[in-house]
Amino acid sequence: MRLGVLDIGSNTGHLLVVDAHGGAAPLPAASHKEPLRLAEHLDASDAVTRAGIDALTDFTRHAIEFAEEKGCEEILAFATSAVREAVNTDAVLDHVASATGTRIEVLSGEDEARLTFLAVRRWFGWSAGRLAVFDIGGGSLEIAAGTDEAPDVAWSLPLGAARLARDRFAGGVDEESVRELRRWVRTEIARDAGGLLRGGTPHRAAATSKTFRSLARICGAAPSAEGPLVPRVLRRADLAEWLPKLVAAPTEELADLPGVSPSRAHQIVPGALVAEAAMDIFDLEALEICPWALREGVILERLDRLSVLG
């Protein structure tokens, strides 16, 4: 069947069209995305602004039209951190539904971590053993670990790269703001780290999504043009070597680095601080970059349910 997966993230709105059936990897057929930057369209009360609502509504309308043109028989629409944590979530989604006819589901942080874990487990398979998965999004950091397809532990923290760039570096990046953010991020991650550590050292540790892919590319991983099957790794030592350079570089220079888009250049430093903290606290020398993430997890769970229904 042909599915459309509409992912409303804190940074980007992304419609992925895939050909999918049980027992096979979802095959990407088409893609449509725009940089919505909803995490930065929140006012002082944490409500999505009118500009953010209009951008989300317009993108959803265009995405649905795109999906229909591509022959999708079903569209799975979901939103993550920026919409989930807004004080006007229901009003935003009611407006979008009224204007487009599409109701967007809000995923909890735990579900986001769980579905991402499912995708990574399917990508690496059972040979990964006890698997730990990390995902830095625009609004949150998801962590999950386990030996099965459902993780033993899964949680979400408000440590997304866009959120931290907005809240902590609005006035610019300097030594004091970096030191304070580094300390706070590590405190937040360490608070519940025992949930993962009590299960033992993972046999394999993986990372997903744009921030980790960009950091791995900066540190020497293969470009995306070489395809998803090329192994890519983010090493803690390489990241530690690059971090002072990232902190010292102006935003326009960060945008020229390999794997960094201009719209996300200001998020690289906070994202790198979160990645470094996670690797330090869980004592991980490297993270393998997985090309599958939340969207693929949503697809795989849907296919699983269809197979159960017969």
The residue ranges of every structural domain in the chain are 2-106, 109-294
Alpha helices in the chain (DSSP H): 50-69, 81-84, 89-100, 109-124, 161-168, 175-191, 194-197, 209-218, 236-248, 251-254, 268-281, 294-309
Identity of the amino acid at 13: G
Chain segment 75-115, per-residue pLDDT in tens: 999 999 999 999 999 999 999 999 999 999 999 999 999 99
Per the listing, tokens 């069947």 go with 1
**Residues of the chain above pLDDT 90, percent:** 92
Tell me what the mean pLDDT of segment 127-145 comes to. Answer: 97
d(C-alpha 82, C-alpha 90), whole Å: 13
Cβ neighbours of residue 73 closer than 8 Å, sequence gap 6 or more: 1, 2, 3
Within 10 Å of residue 52's Cβ, how many Cβ atoms?
Answer: 23
d(C-alpha 136, C-alpha 212), whole Å: 7
| Per-residue pLDDT, 170 | 86
- Give the pairing of strands 27-34 and 13-19: antiparallel
Name the residue among 259, 279, 305 with its Cα closest to residue 115.
Answer: 305
| Two domains, one topology: 2-106 and 109-294 | yes
Average pLDDT, the chain: 95
What are 53's two structure tokens? 């609502």
Q: Is the pLDDT of residue 156 over 90?
A: yes
Q: Which residues of 13-43 are buried (b: 16+ CB within 10 A; e: fewer)?
A: bbbbbbebeeeeebeebbebeebbbbbbbbe
pTM: 0.95
pLDDT tier at 309, thresholds 50, 70, 90: low
SS3 content of the chain, % helix, strand, coil (to 5): 50, 20, 30
What are 297's two structure tokens? 């997890």
Output the CA torsion sign for 104, 110, 111, 112: positive
pLDDT tier at 243, thresholds 50, 70, 90: very high
| Per-residue pLDDT, 310 | 55
Q: Is the pLDDT of residue 145 over 80?
A: yes
**How far is residue 101 from each of residues 61, 94, 202, 218, measured CA to CA in Å?**
9, 10, 44, 41
Largest CA distance in the chain: 58
pLDDT tier at 21, thresholds 50, 70, 90: confident
| Per-residue pLDDT, 234 | 98
| Per-residue pLDDT, 146 | 97
| Per-residue pLDDT, 306 | 85
| Per-residue pLDDT, 308 | 72
CATH class of this structure's domain 2-106? alpha beta
CATH superfamily of 109-294: Exopolyphosphatase. Domain 2 (3.30.420.150)
Q: Is the pLDDT of residue 275 over 90?
A: yes
Output the CA torsion sign for 249, 251, 252, 253: positive
Q: Is the pLDDT of residue 34 over 70?
A: yes
Q: How far is C-alpha 45 from the geometric centre of its chain's CA atoms?
A: 24
